[in-house]
Structure 1
Amino acid sequence: MGDNVVVSNMELERLLSMKGGKGEGSYANNSQAQAIHAKSMHHLLKEALDGVQLQAPNMPFVVVDLGCSCGSNTINVVDLIIKHIIKRYEALGLDPPEFSAFFSDLPSNDFNTLFQLLPPLANYGVSMEECLAANNHRSYFAAGVPGSFYRRLFPARFIDVFHSAFSLHWLSQVPESVLDKRSSAYNKGRVFIHGASEITANAYKNQFQTDLASFLRSRAVELKRGGSMFLVCLGRTSVDPTDQGGAGLLFGTHFQDAWDDLVQEGLISSEKRDSFNIPVYAPSLQDFKEVVEADGSFAINKLEVFKGGSPLVVNQPDDDSEVGRALANSCRSVSGVLVDAHIGDKLSEELFLRVERRATSHGKELLEQLQFFHIVASLSFAL
């Protein structure tokens, strides 16, 4: 990408992905915190799975992870879902069915890295018991499905369980008014909505709610009757949408300051900075609930804010340089692809060096204050 590229909303779907590969700044190597947060919510996931209607054993059971990205977290959660459903069949004295798992994300996702992590398929010519006993093998057929989950992805009444974690806070686009200099919602001087004007934040909120409504409409067609959805996304405890909590600290402090550094050093123009915004919105419970209730297709079995903890996993908490590096890598793993496209690889490298430098000087403070909260929703069809 050249230095003068502006990532338009039309390009966002084509470009957006977590950073692929297996390098230091990759998502695969910077998603340990997400794994820890997901594990702390396993009891809620299993509770949701207990409400799924079991199909006849001669019908395949279909699981989807939406926003799968390219690390091992998605494989672990699909494995957990299928093993839990198998236990439910066995508890009823029924033979488990065959299982299919679809891993879905935007077309730019690094599916190659993901599929290299998949264990080999167990021999389906043998019994399910032998299949499950096979070490380091999977007991399900796997496929990748590229596309936006804000649109249809599957045939009607095809899916038993939809799972999506740490993805729905990513918007389909930056609100157009946020990038429009003529608009009162123009986010001048900022690259995120944390601390922005109320008008700007409401533009993000409206985009989130529009996107979530599209997501629900699509899933309402694709989900089987008796199926279930378990959704996790970044959330916030404040009613104020300009206070984005953990997401605000990730993208609205040292990341923001690093962009300002590039402007002040004459490496990029202020207009270049202002034409970049992170397309993320951490909703409140009310933001989420309003959309589900307005759609009317789904009953809310559970909707709560769950404290996930820090997104930083460090071996030596007292080592400020390790904390700074962890923050920069965490930030880069989720936003690096967009930054690269907007200002080019060379300036992107400069930006994240400054993120690391600034975060290092606030290491202790970051570990104490940087906490993520998640919206956890368990949904099934309304009666």
Structure 2
Amino acid sequence: MDVEKVFHMNGGLGDNSYAQNSSLQKKASDMVKHITLKTLEETYISTTPKSLGIADLGCSSGQNTLSTIQDMVEAIDKATGKLPNTPPPEFRIHLNDLPTNDFNATFKILPDFHQALNHQRRHRSSNHDSSVYIAGYPGTFYGRLFPDKCLHFIYSSYSLHWLSKVPPGLYDNNGKSINKGGRMVLILLGRRDRSHVDRGNSFLWELLSRSFANLVSRGEVKQEKLDGYDSHFYAPSRDELEEEVRKDGCFKMELFEMFEIERNSGAYMSHGTAVARTVRAIQESMISHHFGEEILDYLFENYGKLIDEEMGIEDIKPISFITVLRKL
């Protein structure tokens, strides 16, 4: 299976779309938004470019992406107000994801987004006349995506633990697209330590495996078919991340924090159902390609029940990392 061509978040705005089932990712990014925006502000103040290049790696589609852009523009507008005789920069926003990503779902709401953004900027200040340019850059971030030194800030939220392929040239790019002093804010799932028995994230895969096993016992999936399915997920430990940064040699880790996401307590669905719908929005393209679409409803309905049962016994919370890297 060519993961790079098959894997993508569910597009559109339907019930099973990523746009409608990414509230957990939104909750997590909001928890550490103060770090993201402070880092962006510090990067801008230290460089004061007339044209500020920002990239969102693994942007997916939907409102989450645009709300992050809105927060970033607002933060820089406020930072500019603190600098004497400094007009706000133009913004070059580079949205990146695999070619199969539903970029159109984002592009279709751009006109309304620009209108609302400009209204807010006029309301905040009369000095708002800089432009915000947004473009899509389809392709894997394991290879080269952008020209030399065109970026000042890179943001990636919950995409680095999904491997579209094993990156053979991991150290060939050496951060060439990001200016000296530029920064990266990376949010991803991780493990508490080097042990691979950390249930913080693995228990979700254990329960998905049990849901598949139920389908095998019902005769709806053959065991051989299940044995041939591999997930492309990897949650690193802090030591592993630090080691990769050290090997690369082009960045300094300025901050590292570990945090947990509290479970959903919505009135319309259980926590297990919310997690199952989130996982379905992410994994459906891979699972349907390998097994067919007919197993999806039962698989994820059962998966949600298993999560609720497990969480009733033990309150297990996935571990997330946020790290800030500065280009040397």
Q: When the two structures are superposed, what TM-score results if normalisation uses the length of structure 2? A: 0.88
SS in 2 for 1:221: coil
User: Do 2:179 and 2:327's aligned partners in 1 also have CA atoms closer than 8 Å?
Assistant: no
2:196 to 233, 237, 241: 241
Q: Give 1:259 deviation, angstroms.
A: 0.9
Determine whether 1:84 maps to 2:71. no
Match of 1:315 in 2: 266
Determine whether 1:277 maps to 2:230. yes
What stretches of structure 2 of length at least 5 have no aligned partner? none
Q: Distance in 1 between matches of 2:190 and 2:109?
A: 29
Q: Residues 131 and 228 from structure 1, CA distance in 2 versus in 1: closer, same or farther, beyond 3 angstroms? A: farther
Q: Distance in 2 between matches of 1:349 and 1:170?
A: 23
Q: Distance in 2 between matches of 1:307 and 1:222?
A: 32
Q: Distance in 2 between matches of 1:353 and 1:160?
A: 43
Match of 1:203 in 2: none
User: Do 2:149 and 2:178's aligned partners in 1 also have CA atoms closer than 8 Å?
Assistant: yes
User: Do 1:67 and 1:164's aligned partners in 2 also have CA atoms closer than 8 Å?
Assistant: yes
Determine whether 1:375 maps to 2:321. yes
Q: Distance in 2 between matches of 1:269 and 1:375?
A: 37
Q: Deviations over 1:306-354 (max 9, x none)?
A: 22333xx3424xx9x7334223212211111111111111123332233
Q: Distance in 2 between matches of 1:330 and 1:122?
A: 30
Q: Distance in 1 between matches of 2:177 and 2:239?
A: 26
Where does 1:4-19 land on structure 2 (aligned, <5 Å)? 8=1, 11-19=2-10
User: Do 1:53 and 1:226's aligned partners in 2 also have CA atoms closer than 8 Å?
Assistant: no
Q: Distance in 2 between matches of 1:217 and 1:51?
A: 28
Matched AA of 2:254: N
Q: Distance in 2 between matches of 1:330 and 1:103?
A: 21
In the alignment of these two chains, the number of paired residues is 322
Where does 1:139-158 land on structure 2 (aligned, <5 Å)? 140-158=132-150
User: Do 2:16 and 2:280's aligned partners in 1 also have CA atoms closer than 8 Å?
Assistant: yes
Determine whether 1:25 maps to 2:22. no
Where does 1:105-184 land on structure 2 (aligned, <5 Å)? 105-118=97-110, 119-121=112-114, 130=122, 140-173=132-165
Q: Give 1:356 deviation, angstroms.
A: 3.3
SS in 1 for 2:270: helix
1:339 to 264, 282, 287: 287
Q: Give 1:370 deviation, angstroms.
A: 3.6
Where does 1:197-212 land on structure 2 (aligned, <5 Å)? none
Q: Give 1:123 deviation, angstroms.
A: 11
Matched AA of 1:81: M
User: Do 1:250 and 1:331's aligned partners in 2 also have CA atoms closer than 8 Å?
Assistant: no
SS in 1 for 2:153: strand
What stretches of structure 1 of length at least 5 have no aligned partner? 1-7, 174-206
Query: Superposition RMSD on alpha carbons, in Å?
Result: 2.8
1:290 to 243, 262, 272: 243
Q: Distance in 2 between matches of 1:45 and 1:354?
A: 36
SS in 2 for 1:100: strand
Q: Distance in 2 between matches of 1:322 and 1:127?
A: 38
Determine whether 1:35 maps to 2:26. yes
Q: Residues 44 and 15 from structure 1, CA distance in 2 versus in 1: closer, same or farther, beyond 3 angstroms? A: same
Q: Residues 114 and 247 from structure 1, CA distance in 2 versus in 1: closer, same or farther, beyond 3 angstroms? A: farther
Q: Residues 101 and 303 from structure 1, CA distance in 2 versus in 1: closer, same or farther, beyond 3 angstroms? A: same
Q: Give 1:129 deviation, angstroms.
A: 5.8
User: Do 2:276 and 2:300's aligned partners in 1 also have CA atoms closer than 8 Å?
Assistant: yes
Match of 2:276 in 1: 328
SS in 1 for 2:114: coil
Q: Give 1:362 deviation, angstroms.
A: 4.5
Q: When the two structures are superposed, what TM-score results if normalisation uses the length of structure 1? A: 0.76
User: Do 1:96 and 1:128's aligned partners in 2 also have CA atoms closer than 8 Å?
Assistant: no
Determine whether 1:304 maps to 2:252. no
Q: Residues 373 and 104 from structure 1, CA distance in 2 versus in 1: closer, same or farther, beyond 3 angstroms? A: same
